[in-house]
Amino acid sequence: RHTFRLQRAAVADGERVGLVDDWFETGSQGLIARQLVERAGASYVGASIIVNQLSAERRRALAPCHSLVDARELNFP
């Protein structure tokens, strides 16, 4: 079981927040982070990742989502 938390003092109302990560496999953690940011009153502005392994549906849910390389380019299953 995982617990996700966002320190309320880290995000102020009206701030713009982007997610940065090395690898999005399913995007579940990214979606949770987006929800926490929005509940804190900030605006989600997108995600930047190095390796993208997201389904098209999850990529749309995290849009705009920019990546450097697709996992398939790395011959990753």
Please report which confidence band the pLDDT of residue 29 belongs to, taking 50, 70 and 90 as the band edges. very high
Q: What angle do CA 70, 38, 61 make, to 5 degrees?
A: 30
Strand arrangement of the beta sheet that strand 65-70 belongs to: 16-24, 43-52, 65-70
Q: What is the value of pTM for the model shown?
A: 0.87
Query: At 10, which amino acid appears?
Result: A
Respond yes or no on whether the N-terminal peptide bond of residue 77 is cis (omega within 30° of 0). no
pLDDT tens readout for residues 50-70: 999 999 999 999 999 999 999
